[in-house]
């Protein structure tokens, strides 16, 4: 019999957060990730969206330098057009979106608005009280894509033959 259900829940959330903090970057990026397929006149592709729920979001966000390259690698491995990782503080009910490149930044701005604070070299977006992939994140991304969002131009190798330049 449990005397204090609130204390038990808090202890379980803390234990889960400690476990998450010990996961590899790959484990965090892939742990709770789903892909969503879209096909519109302006965009066709798959968008991946991972979520890490924790009582201590700073512990995860502090690993940004480790997480961003892993997000890029997983995006490439899975052939995704975009990949996001949301870090959700389940105590304070706040969401933080990690973005690994210009495609993610562009789609996040279209989905969540230009007024969301973006920091750390355009890699972190404060999502405020948006915490649910099902209710808050994917519906907004879907709305933005259906409204005509298109992927920014790729920055790849130069099309100019350098030898021709002398």
Report pTM.
0.84
In tens digits, what is the pLDDT along the chain, a chain of 166 residues?
Answer: 778 877 776 667 666 656 667 799 999 999 999 999 999 999 999 999 999 999 899 999 999 999 999 999 999 999 999 999 999 999 999 999 999 999 999 999 999 987 899 999 999 999 999 999 999 999 999 999 999 999 998 654 444 455 655 4
Q: How far apart are CA 109 and CA 84, in angstroms?
A: 13
- Look at residue 31 in the predicted model and tell me its pLDDT: 92
- Look at residue 11 in the predicted model and tell me its pLDDT: 66
- Look at residue 4 in the predicted model and tell me its pLDDT: 80
C-alpha distances out from residue 131 to 52, 70, 75, 85, 166, Å? 10, 22, 22, 12, 55
Question: Under a CB-based contact definition with an 8 Å cutoff, are residues 110 and 82 in contact?
Answer: no
Q: How far apart are CA 104 and CA 81, in angstroms?
A: 9
* SS3 category, 69: helix
C-alpha distances out from residue 65 to 17, 96, 120, 129, Å? 19, 15, 11, 25
Q: How far apart are CA 68 and CA 70, in angstroms?
A: 5
Question: Under a CB-based contact definition with an 8 Å cutoff, are residues 87 and 56 in contact?
Answer: no
Shortest CA distance to 28 belongs to which of 61, 1, 2? Answer: 61
Q: How far apart are CA 165 and CA 158, in angstroms?
A: 13
């Amino acid at each position: 019999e449990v005397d204090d259900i609130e204390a038990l829940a808090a202890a379980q959330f803390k234990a889960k957060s400690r476990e998450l903090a010990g996961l590899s970057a790959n484990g965090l990026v892939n742990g709770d990730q789903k892909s969503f397929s879209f096909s519109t006149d302006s965009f066709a592709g798959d968008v991946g969206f991972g979520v890490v729920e924790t009582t201590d979001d700073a512990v995860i966000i502090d690993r940004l330098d480790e997480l961003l390259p892993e997000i890029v690698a997983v995006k490439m491995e899975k052939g995704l057009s975009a990949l996001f990782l949301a870090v959700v503080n389940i105590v304070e009910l706040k969401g933080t979106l990690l973005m690994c490149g210009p495609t993610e930044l562009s789609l996040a701005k279209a989905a969540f608005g230009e007024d969301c604070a973006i920091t750390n070299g355009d890699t972190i977006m404060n999502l405020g009280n948006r915490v649910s992939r099902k209710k808050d994140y994917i519906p907004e991304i879907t709305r933005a894509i259906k409204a005509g969002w298109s992927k920014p131009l790729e920055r790849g190798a130069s099309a100019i033959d350098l030898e021709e330049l002398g």
